[in-house]
Amino acid sequence: MKENLSEEEMRQALFGPQANQPDPPKATELPATAVHQPVSKPRKTPKSLSPKLRVTMRVTREFEGKAEVFIYEANTLSTFAAEQEAKTEAKKKKFKYFELISIKPID
């Protein structure tokens, strides 16, 4: 690039071509060629920023019926809220009776 630019060349570089000036001659276009793009590494799955609790419950559909273990992961620090969310999810899956086994934080 030239070190000594005229005032007109500086204005054109800063502000682009003005409406009252003729357009500069256009360069001939070269055919597009394929550019090799580098392959990126697979991204690691980020850890969740919010704390999680794992709620483990024994659930049944009928009283003293066959019990199943139900595990729910809640995005909260409140054990009470986590238990309520787990019960709500279990109810959506048609379970009627719940027995809380444990509530543990997940790393």
For the chain, which residues make up each domain, given as ranges? 52-106
Q: Which amino acid is at 57?
A: M
Give the residue ranges of the chain where pLDDT is below 50: none
pLDDT for position 41: 78
pLDDT for position 63: 87
pLDDT for position 27: 60
Q: Which amino acid is at 44?
A: K
- Is pTM beyond 0.85 here? no
pLDDT for position 35: 67
CB contact at 8 A, 73 and 52:
yes
